[in-house]
Amino acid sequence: MKRKPEEQEGFVFVRKGKEKAGSKRRKSSVEDDPDTSQTDGLVELPVSDTPIVKRNKELRKGKGRRSSLDQRGKRASSIGTGFEALPHADVPSHEYYRHISKDLSEPLRIKQLLLWASSKALEEQRKKYGETEEASEAAIARSIVQEVLNELLANKVSVSWYQRPPDAVIPNKPHPQNLKNAQLVDELSAKLTQLHNEEAAWRAVAANSVSSDKSILSFKKAVESIDSKQDLDKQDSPLPPDDAPELPNISKLKPKFHTLLDMLAENIHTLHSLTNAGPEVRSSYGRLAAQDFIAHRKSLLSFSKYVDTMNLLRLLSEASYKSSSNESV
């Protein structure tokens, strides 16, 4: 067998074959002939699949035949249970679902997953405690879990949701916004109760102030009635000699007592009105005082503009000279 000649192109050797004489002659004839022309053409693409492709798709849609390929590489834990043995220890528990046969029904798959995960957790707990002080308590807990798993294997505990009663009501999970709204209702109801208590306290204070005003008025009327009775007694019957020196003292105390009583009633009324008015009255008084101060300040500034300092000093010197001359005289 003859080797094809090699040509060096840089550092790469390319092996080329011999060109046929017919192809060279055909190329030269096409290039030499000026009458030949090239035309572009369109090739239509198929819009739909061919009948054979359609038939193959229909065949693939059907259920495939049962194959023994799915059963390869699986170990049976026991013949009676029908469940597979635990996966390898290196397989993490969150990937157990990948090793469960897809041919099983959903209840059996969840049962298989529950058995695998529980067995793996028991083994981890056994390695964790070992011979520690809590080993005996952990062993008791593991024995209880193992009994539950044995009952699950013996089909004494059912995890199938197909056998539940048809009228069973499944509670819906509460919406997070509803939980927040319930919490807000509790907070606002507590706030409303506090406000009601404050309102009741203020109403009690107001009722006490009104009752105190009424008691003062009734006391004042009683004093006036007593004074009127005493005046009538003075006019009708003379006083005994023992009470004669005390008359001037009582007559002197009467006007003071009336004035003190009026001042007390006025102060109580003022305090009550200020308590009811609250911060609005204080803010209004402060606003008026600030306005008066600003107006007074502006008037002083405007007056100082028109006053001449030299004339002011001259007037002060004349006043001091006149006062000194008057003192010398």
- Interval 118-169: pLDDT, tens: 888 888 888 887 767 677 888 888 888 889 888 888 888 888 878 777 777 7
In 3-state terms, what secondary structure has residue 42?
coil
Residue pLDDT, tens place only, 140-151: 888 888 898 888
Range of the domain at 227: 212-307
* Longest Cα–Cα distance in the chain: 174
- Of 153, 171, 191, the last residue of a domain is 153
Beta bridge partners of 76: 84
Q: Summarize pLDDT for 256-290 with one digit per residue, the tens.
A: 666 777 777 777 777 777 666 666 656 666 677 77
Burial code of 109-129, b = ≥16 C-beta within 10 A, e = fewer? Answer: ebbbbbbbeebbebeeeeeeb
Is the distance from CB of 161 to CB of 109 less than 8 angstroms? no
Give the SS3 label for residue 256: helix
Is 52 a member of any domain? no
Same domain? 219 vs 303: yes
Kindly state whether residue 194 falls inside one of the protein's structural domains: no
Residues 120 and 86 sit within 8 Å (Cβ to Cβ):
yes
Looking at every residue in the chain, the average pLDDT score rounds to: 71
Is residue 168 in a domain? no
- Enter the tokens of residue 25: 């002659």
Domain membership of residue 119 (yes or no) is: yes
Rounded Cα gap, residues 9 and 19, in angstroms: 19
Q: Is the pTM of this model over 0.75?
A: no
Number of compact structural domains in the chain = 2
Tell whether 216 and 148 lie within a shared domain: no
Residue-level pLDDT at 246: 47
232 lies in some domain: yes
Would 90 be classed as within a structural domain?
yes
Same domain, 216 and 303: yes
Q: Whose CA is closest to 109, among 117, 121, 118, 100?
A: 100
Local structure of 15: helix, strand or coil? strand
